[in-house]
Amino acid sequence: MTDHGVHEATPASPEALKGQEPVRRGRGRTRDSATTAAILDAAMELLVEEDLRKFTIERLASRAGVSKATIYRWWPSRGAVALDAFLNAVDPHVPFPKTTDFLTALRFQASALVRVFRETPAGHVVRALLAEAQSDPDLADAFRTRWVEARRDSGRAVFRRAQESGQIRSDLDLETAIDLVYGPIYYRLLATHQPLTDKFVDDVTAYALRGLAP
Amino acid sequence: MTDHGVHEATPASPEALKGQEPVRRGRGRTRDSATTAAILDAAMELLVEEDLRKFTIERLASRAGVSKATIYRWWPSRGAVALDAFLNAVDPHVPFPKTTDFLTALRFQASALVRVFRETPAGHVVRALLAEAQSDPDLADAFRTRWVEARRDSGRAVFRRAQESGQIRSDLDLETAIDLVYGPIYYRLLATHQPLTDKFVDDVTAYALRGLAP
Amino acid sequence: MTDHGVHEATPASPEALKGQEPVRRGRGRTRDSATTAAILDAAMELLVEEDLRKFTIERLASRAGVSKATIYRWWPSRGAVALDAFLNAVDPHVPFPKTTDFLTALRFQASALVRVFRETPAGHVVRALLAEAQSDPDLADAFRTRWVEARRDSGRAVFRRAQESGQIRSDLDLETAIDLVYGPIYYRLLATHQPLTDKFVDDVTAYALRGLAP
Amino acid sequence: MTDHGVHEATPASPEALKGQEPVRRGRGRTRDSATTAAILDAAMELLVEEDLRKFTIERLASRAGVSKATIYRWWPSRGAVALDAFLNAVDPHVPFPKTTDFLTALRFQASALVRVFRETPAGHVVRALLAEAQSDPDLADAFRTRWVEARRDSGRAVFRRAQESGQIRSDLDLETAIDLVYGPIYYRLLATHQPLTDKFVDDVTAYALRGLAP
DNA sequence: AGATAAGCGAGACGGTACGTCCAGTCTTTAC
DNA sequence: GTAAAGACTGGACGTACCGTCTCGCTTATCT
C-alpha cells in the first residue's frame, strides 16, 4: 500500500489490488513501506486509546518513531492519517449475504455494522472521524467517499436485488431507503441517547421492510 | 437566562430552576448580565462564521470584550459556552401542531427541524456541537439532555397521541420509532452524502407511517 | 529592569537609574522579574558555553525553566536576548582614567577593552553579537547604539580632552581617530590572524599618538 | 577551478595543484564542471541577494538545479561554498602599485579594498563570511588563509619596501602596522557606525604614515 | 460609613501542538 | 563512479491557544 487516499487516489489502487508493485516513480529513494506501516499502526493505536484529543501529529510521530516531516509529506492533516489508519485496519466492504431474502440480507448488513461499532474500536474511530470531518471539508469528502459510500454500495445492491425480486416497491428512492436503515444507527452512535442493541437493529429493519413493502 | 446547564453548580442554578431571579448569593459584586449577554452573542457570531476551528476561548473573549478568566469563571469549556449560546438563540421546543392527524403532525415537526438546519445557522452549530461532544463527555451529556431530549419530547408526544388514537400500532418501542424519523435527518446533516430536501422529509415520514401502521 | 532595549528603549532607563519603580502600566498581572532574570542568566550561560549555534530560543527556554512564548513576548529575536543578557552582565561604560596624560588614558581604555575580550567570555559574546548583527538589522542598530557607541563615548571624551590640552592636533576627525585605536582591536578579535596581546595595545596606541600629534 | 580549498581532500586537488585538468581518476563518470560552475554561480547570486539568512544549502541546490547531495559531496558546509563562490568571483590578490612612494602605494591598496567593499557585492559577502566564521572554525581558517592573508601579503610587501627605502621606521612590527590600516576599514564595514568614505581612507593612511615615520 | 467580597479586564505565565524549514544522511535509479 | 531525485530523522522556528494565575479596579452587601 503506497498511497493514502485523502491525498490523491484511492488507497487500494487497481494495481495494488492485482498484487502488482507500486511502480517506479522515476529516480530517487523509494518510499519506506515500514515507515508507512509504523505510522498507520501507531495511528490506530492512538485512535483506540480513548481520548481523541490526544491524537496529535506530534504524539503520532513519536509513537511511530518517525519525524513529523515524514507524516506531513504524505498526509495533509490529522484526519487524513486517521482515516487511512482506520481503513487500513477495517475493510469498508461488507460481504454479500448468501441469502436472497431481503429482510435477512438487510439484517445481515445492519448487524455487521452495529457489531463493528459496538465490539471493535471502530465505533470510537468513526465517531472521531465524523467529528473531525465537521470542520475539515477535505476529510469530509474522503470519509464520505471511502467509508460512507463504500458501505452504502453494499446496501444499495441488497435494496436493488429486493426491488428486482419484487420484495419491495419499485418506485423507490434508493438513497432515502438506505438512510432509513443506516440513519438511525449513526444517530444512536453519535447522540448516544440510546444503546445500539441487536433488538434495535431488528426493529429498525422490520419497520423499514414494512415501510418499503410493495 | 442565567443558568448555564453544562456548569453543574452554577451559582444561580437553584433559584433559576424555581423561576426566580438570580437573587443575592452573599456579599460581593453581582454577576454582570451585560457581560454574560456579550459573551453569548459573540459566541453565536463566531459559531455562525463558518470556520469552527476559529471558535476559541481567546477569540471569543476578545470579540466579546471580556477577559478569558470571566469566561472560565462561568463555563467549563468551549463546548459549554457554545451550547448555551446556541440554546440562547434557538428554542429547543417545537410548538405542538394543531392537527391530530399523525402524518401531518410528524411532518410538521420533521420539517421544522430540517428547515432550521437548512435555513438558519443552527445546522452548522448543531454539527459543531455534536462533533465537540464526541470528545467531551460533559458536553455530550448536556447536549443530549438540553437539545436532543428536548426535541424528542415533542416527538414522543406526537407518537403517543397517534398510538392512543390507533393511527399506529400499540406494541411500539417509542424510542426506536422516533429514531426512525430523526435518525435519517441527522445522518444526512452530518455525513452530507445527500441534501436535506423537503422531498426527503416527506419520504421518510411516509415510510415511517407505513412501517408503524397497525 | 523592565525594558529590554532592542524593543523600545534603553535598558537602564533614567527612572531605573534613579532607583524608581518600573511604574504601573495599567491593569494586568505584572511582569515577573524573577522570570526575566532567569532568562538573562540562562542566556549568558549559553552564550559562554562555546558553541554559539547552540544558542537557540528553545534551549534558552528550557534552560531558564520558562516557556518560549514568554521569551518572545519580551524580545523579538535571539540576538535581542543575547544583547540584553550581555549588557546585563557587562557594563558598556568605561570608568574615566584619573590621569590627564593622553597616552596613558588611551592605553587605559584600550587595555580595559582588550582585557575584557581576552579574559572574560565577553570576547566570545561580542563576536557572536557582531556576527548575528550582520544579518539582523535591528540587532545591528541596538548593538551599535548600546555597545559600540557607549564605549566610543568614553573614548571620544579622552580624545577631546587631549585636543583641548593640545596633546593632539585640533583639526582632527574624532570618529576616524577612535577607529584608529578600536579598529585594529576588533579586527584581530574577529579575523584572529594575530593574538590580542598587551604589546599590541601598546604599539597601536603609540602609533596613534604619533600619528595624531600636533 | 576545481580545488575548493576548505575541503582538504578534494578529489581533484592533486591534479589541480599541478595545473593539469581534472583528468581521469579511475572508473566512472567524471565530475561535471558545469555542475560545479552552476553551484558557484548560484551561490554568488544568493550571497548578493541581500538577506544572508536565505543562503541555505536547500535553496542553493534548487537554485543551481542540483541535488543537495552533490553539494555535500564537494563542500563540507554552507560557509565553504560561500567562500569558494566568493573567491571564484573576486580575486584576493591586489596588483602591485607602480609607484615606490609609500603613501601612494598604501592608499592604492586601501582604496582598492574599500572600493570593492563599497561598490561591489563583495562587502556584503565578506561580512557574511566573517559572521559565519565566528561559529565555524574550519571556515575561519579557510577565510583567514585564502582571503585575509592573501590581501595582507600584498600589504606586507608594500610596508617592507617602504622600510627598505627608509620611508618608515625599521624597528617595526609589520603585522601591527598592517592592522593599523586594515583594522579601521573592517571595523567600519562590520560595525557600520560610520561610512567607508574616500576621505576616511585618506585620513587613516595619512595618520598611519605619520605614526610609522622614522 | 466602613469593611468585606465578589466580579471583572488586563495580561503574564508554563505548556502543548501547530505546520514549516533546513541540516545532514541515505537509498535508488540514470547516465 | 558521478549525479539527480527525493525519502528520512532530527531539531528549531515563530505562532496560537490552553487553562491558570496575579493584579488593581469596581460594585455590591453586610456590619
Residues of B in contact with A156 (CB under 8 A): none
- The class (CATH top level) of A14-89 is mainly alpha
Which tens digit of pLDDT belongs to each residue from B14-62? 332 223 334 456 788 898 999 999 999 999 999 998 788 899 999 999 9
**Contact (Cβ atoms closer than 8 angstroms) between residue B179 and residue A194:** yes
- Kindly list the residues from chain D whose CB atom is less than 8 angstroms away from the CB atom of residue C134: 52, 127-128, 130-131, 190
The 3-state DSSP class for residue B94 equals: coil
Query: What secondary structure letter does DSSP report for A163?
Result: H
pLDDT at B146: 96
C-alpha cell read off for B32:
454582570
Mean pLDDT of B144-163: 94
> Do residue A128 and residue B135 have CB atoms under 8 angstroms apart?
yes
A168-182, B115-129, B183-197, D37-51, range with greatest mean pLDDT: B183-197
What local confidence, expressed as pLDDT, does residue A13 receive?
33
Mean pLDDT of C113-122: 94
What pLDDT score was predicted for residue C11? 38
CA B16 → C1' E14, Å? 38
Pure H helices in chain B: 13-17, 33-48, 57-64, 68-74, 78-89, 102-119, 122-133, 137-143, 149-164, 174-191, 198-212
User: What superfamily in CATH does domain D13-77 come from?
Assistant: Homeodomain-like (1.10.10.60)
B30 contact to strand E (CB, 7 A limit)? yes
Under an 8 A CB cutoff, do C207 and D204 touch?
A: no
pLDDT at A5 over 50: no
Bigger pLDDT: D93 or C165? C165
How far: B28 CA to E1 C1' (Å)? 17
Residue in C with minimal Cα distance to D214: C210
Q: What's the topology of domain C102-212?
A: Tetracycline Repressor; domain 2 (1.10.357)
Residue B10, CA distances (Å) to A136, B53, B158, C58, D204 in order: 34, 27, 34, 41, 80
Q: Which of B29, B28, B1 is nearest to B13 (CA)?
A: B1
Is the Cβ–Cβ distance between A121 and A48 less than 8 Å?
A: yes
Mean residue pLDDT of chain B comes to 87
Nearest-nucleotide field for C72 (CA, C1'): F14
Q: Is the pLDDT of residue A96 over 90?
A: no
pLDDT at C96: 76
pLDDT classification of C19: cutoffs 50, 70, 90: very low
- Supply the pLDDT for residue D31: 67
* Smallest CA–C1' distance to E16, residue: A58
Residue C14 has pLDDT above 60, yes or no: no
Rg (chain A; Cα; Å): 19
What is the rounded average pLDDT of the residues A77-84?
96
- The answer to whether domain A14-89 and domain A102-212 are alike in fold is yes
CA–CA dist A74, A61 (Å, integer): 13
The pLDDT assigned to B84 comes to 96
> Is pLDDT at B154 greater than 80 in this prediction?
yes
State residue C80's pLDDT score: 96
Superfamily of domain B13-89: Tetracycline Repressor, domain 2 (1.10.357.10)
pLDDT of residue A27: 79
Query: Shortest CB distance from B211 goes to which of A135, A193, A210?
Result: A210
Q: Provide the pLDDT for residue C100.
A: 82
Confidence of residue A51 (pLDDT cuts 50, 70, 90): confident
- Pick from B142, B143, B112, B115: nearest CA to B127: B143
- Subunits adjacent to chain B (3 or more Cβ pairs under 8 Å): A
Residue with cell 567600519: D188
Determine, for residues D176 and C207 on separate chains, whether the beta-carbon distance falls below 8 Å. Answer: yes
**Cβ of residue D35 lies below 7 Å from strand F:** yes
Q: Band of the pLDDT at A49, cuts 50, 70, 90?
A: confident
Candidates C53, C148, C200; nearest CB to D191: C148
A163-172, B17-26, B31-40, C83-92: the lowest-pLDDT one: B17-26
- pLDDT at residue B186 above 70? yes
Closest residue by C-alpha to C1' distance, nucleotide E13: C70
Residue B66 CB lies within 7 Å of the nucleic strand E? yes
Share of chain C above pLDDT 70, in %: 87
Tell me which residues from 67 to 106 on chain A have a beta carbon below 7 angstroms from nucleic acid strand E. 68-69, 72, 77-78
Chain B residues touching A134 at Cβ < 8 A? 52, 127-128, 130-131, 190
Q: Percentage of chain A surpassing pLDDT 90? A: 76
Domain boundaries, chain A: 14-89, 102-212
Q: Could you say which of D148, D190, D208 has the minimum Cβ distance to residue C193?
A: D148
The per-residue pLDDT of chain C, averaged, comes to 87
Question: From the CA of D60, how many Å to the C1' of E22?
Answer: 12
CB-CB neighbors (< 8 A) of C83 in chain D = none
Q: Does the nearest atom of strand E lie within 7 Å of B37's Cβ?
A: no
Sign of CA dihedral D128, D130, D135, D140: positive
Q: Which of A130, A148, A194 sits opposite B175 (nearest CB)?
A: A194
Cα–Cα distance between C78 and A153 in angstroms, integer?
58
Lookup: cell for A148: 460512507
* A201-212 residue pLDDT tens: 999 999 999 999
Q: List the single protein residue with the shortest CA to C1' distance from F25.
A: C27
